[in-house]
Structure 1
Amino acid sequence: MKLMERVKATMRVKRYSLRTEKTYCYWIRFYIRFNNLRHPATLTGP
């Protein structure tokens, strides 16, 4: 299962609203693109 599918499935189990699901997915995609698709383990702190 892909990341976004897992996020959506988890949010549906927790009964989040559709609008909340869309907003979370938008920000997750934004974060991934902002970090140039790098794995979180390879990111360094400030």
Structure 2
Amino acid sequence: MNEILFRLIDQRIELMHKQMKLKLDFHTNYNLRSLFFDDGNRVG
């Protein structure tokens, strides 16, 4: 019983890591894009 539970928790953690990585990659790409394709209108 415990083995199944641990396996389920493991899969959940793995899924969360994948989702976090996807979000991080998206934000990184977005930030890089805004750096490289800056039109000069940004204030600050």
* TM-score normalised per structure 1: 0.44
Q: More helix by proportion, 1 or 2?
A: 2
- Of structures 1 and 2, the one scoring higher in RCO (CA 8 A, sep 6+) is 1
